[in-house]
Amino acid sequence: MLTVQDKNFDKLSQKFAKNIYGTTKGEIRAAVLWRDLAPQIAALGDKPLRILDAGGGFGFFSQKLAAMGHEVVLCDISEQMLFQAKQQIDASDVPLNISLVHCPIQALSPEKQGQFDVILCHAVAEWLIDAHSTLQGLLTLLKPQGIFSLMFYNKEAMRFHSLVSGNFDYVKRDMKVKKKVGLTPTHPLYIEDVRQWFNQWQLSMICQSGVRVINDYLKHHLPPNFDTQQLIEMELLYSQREPYLSLGRYVHFLAKNP
């Protein structure tokens, strides 16, 4: 197997499932991504699509899309993540056509895996040593007119969140810590850089959304009638408006191959 120094989630797989998907953060992520993706997938027609979930982890979207009858390839470098994916796929009520591929994104190729109608790459780019070249390579697997869904951790939002938390020394160090721990991404990205990459790759942008544009900035003391469902509605409402979009902890770009 090609060796890479990108972040393997073997030691974080349980924490990731619990801290992200088991929380409001996960609900917001799923709601925004699905609001953006669902109509584009529907627009590709009735036939089953070939979908690649690159760095797919336990395959939250892989499972959702496979349950709709699509053929999914889920690739990840973490055996633990793929183990969780397999357990969930085996426990599913409906048969899921998902192939689990234990390899780095950098080892995928159109010769081996073929090309795909849709490629998802969610919350992976910010863990990569070289996101630009890895994503450029990944796009060789996208069919003409195929859809690319990229969600990445937003460095400017990371700075803003640290500022409003009063972590000024951390901001002065450009949010660098001596020892990287937990789920704080090692290589956050600037929105403008990723926009330029999309231009360079001649992708036509379908939509751009901020993910968690409000949740992470909520005050500690909330009104007694505070309601999580209303928060999710507000997240959806403001996710595509500036300046909220640019303050999303993650940003989702959905684009079409020429």
User: CB-wise, 51 or 75, nearer to ligand SAM?
Assistant: 75
4 forms part of the interface with ligand SAM (CB under 6 A): yes
User: CB-wise, 105 or 189, nearer to ligand SAM?
Assistant: 105
Under a CB-based contact definition with an 8 Å cutoff, are residues 29 and 212 in contact? Answer: yes
CA angle 23, 253, 228 (to 5 degrees): 25
| Least gap, CB of 61 to ligand SAM (angstroms) | 7
Report the C-alpha gap between 164 and 135 in whole angstroms.
32
What is residue 122's three-state secondary structure?
strand
- Per-residue string for binding with ligand SAM, 126-155, x by CB under 6 A? -xx---------------------------
Question: Does the bond joining 185 to the residue before it have cis omega, within 30 degrees of 0?
Answer: no
118 forms part of the interface with ligand SAM (CB under 6 A): no
| Least gap, CB of 248 to ligand SAM (angstroms) | 15
Under a CB-based contact definition with an 8 Å cutoff, are residues 156 and 209 in contact? Answer: no
Nearest to 204 by CA among 131, 114, 142, 133: 142
Under a CB-based contact definition with an 8 Å cutoff, are residues 211 and 29 in contact? Answer: yes
36 forms part of the interface with ligand SAM (CB under 6 A): no
- Per-residue string for binding with ligand SAM, 83-112, x by CB under 6 A? ---------------------xxx------
Under a CB-based contact definition with an 8 Å cutoff, are residues 8 and 77 in contact? Answer: yes
User: CB-wise, 8 or 24, nearer to ligand SAM?
Assistant: 8
Residue nearest to ligand SAM (CB): 57
Nearest to 29 by CA among 241, 217, 186, 235: 235
250 forms part of the interface with ligand SAM (CB under 6 A): no
| Least gap, CB of 216 to ligand SAM (angstroms) | 16
Enumerate residues 150-209 that contact ligand SAM by CB under 6 A. none
Residues 6+ apart with CB under 8 A from 147: 37, 40, 41, 44, 117, 118, 119, 206, 254, 255, 256, 257
55 forms part of the interface with ligand SAM (CB under 6 A): yes
Q: Which of 60, 198, 238, 253 binds ligand SAM (CB under 6 A)?
A: 60
List residues near ligand SAM by CB under 6 A: 4, 6-9, 16, 55-57, 60, 75-78, 81, 104-106, 122-124, 127-128
